[in-house]
Amino acid sequence: MKDFTTSGGGDCDLAVIGAGSAGFSAAITAAEAGARVALIGAGTIGGTCVNVGCVPSKALIRAVESLHHARAAGRFDGIEAEGRVTDWAATVAQKQALVEELRAAKYADVLPRHENIVYVEGRARFDPKGRLTVDGDIFPASKIILATGSRPHVPAISGIEKAGALDSTSALELTALPASMLVLGAGYIGVELAQIFARAGVAVTLVSRRGVLPEAEPEISEALTGYLAAEGIRMERLAGYGSVAREAGGLCLTGTAGETFTAERLLLATGRVPNSDGLNLAAAGVETGARGGIVVDAQMRTANPNVWAAGDVTGRDQFVYMAAYGAKIAARNAVAGEARAYDNAAMPWVVFSDPQVAGAGLSEAQARAAGHEVVTSVLPLDAVPRALAARDTRGLIKLVAEAGSKRLLGAQILAPEGADSIQAAAMALKAGLTYEELGDTIMPYLTTVEGLKLAAQTFEKDVAALSCCAG
């Protein structure tokens, strides 16, 4: 690996700030284009996804899913099973071993394969003159990509700083399960973590101001709320959060209307904020939005013509694959003089609840707000043969289309295997298919994805009148 140095005076073509998914994507893309790249990171290499986000959370989701399957086995006649947590510390240790394995395989061990990339450990920041520095020393670079990620949001609640609250990082590191837990926030992070701990045997209360997955289709939010409650998760809506105080045996959360909730532990899942505040961006002429996200144009360029940004630090589309996608665009535009544009119109997204929630394109509300005259199709999962065979009909599929052209505008799926089906909808949206064309597409029988075909046919047909595979 080449040893670029700050004394080289321009020896580095591109400095990438942040060694997570976006940073690695940008560095590798630029190096493959022939640029000499300095990847600058502080702390553990790999960023949020592999260390404290996607990988550890999904590993534990799968672990407790086995407990649910055991408890639900009785839905099949003649089948009995049971499952229980015998050593949560061992479960967490296995999760951590996977994290370390993937951190090495997908991050640390990748760098030596790229001769044009040097890794620099240190804190990057712009000095008062707008020059890039690392640990206080000037670091010359022709172009810069900011990819410093995000961190858990701490809401402004009286007493929260002294409450010893968990966040999504520390919650996944617990080696002993508490008896009870308040989960504050019912977005995708709150829903996933609440279900993990509830299935592991913790008495969970999920507290929110806007309800479960407020950005999802209302039919899906309502149905998932019911499924979580059926698993024993207590669901509470508050107008606002008043204060948090420690008391014997745990904490007490008080709402602005005087409601009180107590539990042994409090977990904050109220979103994430961009890591933009420690970079002195104003000195470099880099603008941020109201929530701290770095403002970029379609080409991922900031207000400074030599600085681009990608990933969670921009405050949009906070998914690891979108971070990598945006970083590739930023890198190509920065070092190869291209003008590629960021396109999230058919971006698939997934919430790894059970049943899973997945979507792509516009929701009905978004489509109407954009000025479309829309028609919708809502198919309950008990109309999908796969769900009937599995004796698990929790869920539904909703499609949104333009009324005149019949062109698909969006899709959302609530199903135990919904995550593995949404890509078909994303590709249909990318291709500009109509619901008639999706309904005519050949799909394998007894799969969840066949539900997309049935939902498309539901716009104009009664699928109950069709025989199996006759559509």
Residues annotated as binding site?
58, 148-150, 185-192, 271, 312
Q: Return d(Cα 330, Cα 338) in angstroms, integer.
A: 9
Which residues fall in the annotated binding site for FAD? 58, 148-150, 312
Cα atoms found within 13 Å of the Cα of residue 344, Cβ hemisphere only: 17
The interaxial angle of helices 422-430 and 450-457, nearest 10 deg, is 60
Q: Return d(Cα 148, Cα 5) in angstroms, integer.
A: 22
Q: Return d(Cα 454, Cα 353) in angstroms, integer.
A: 23
- 127 to 11, 37, 134: CA distances (angstroms): 20, 21, 10
Q: Return d(Cα 294, Cα 17) in angstroms, integer.
A: 13
Q: Going by DSSP bridges, is the β-strand pair 272-274/307-309 parallel, antiparallel, or unpaired?
A: unpaired
Which residues fall in the annotated binding site for NAD(+)? 185-192, 271
Cβ-based neighbours of 219, under 8 Å, separated by 6 or more: 378, 396, 398
Which amino acid, residue 117? I
Q: Return d(Cα 467, Cα 448) in angstroms, integer.
A: 17
Reduced to 3 states (helix: H, G, I; strand: E, B; else coil), residue 287 is coil
Q: Give the number of other CB atoms < 10 A from CB of residue 137.
A: 10
Contact call for residues 4 and 118 (beta carbons, < 8 A): yes
Contact call for residues 213 and 222 (beta carbons, < 8 A): no
Q: Return d(Cα 51, Cα 107) in angstroms, integer.
A: 11
Q: Going by DSSP bridges, is the β-strand pair 14-17/37-41 parallel, antiparallel, or unpaired?
A: parallel
Which two structure tokens, joined as six digits, stand for 331? 């890198």
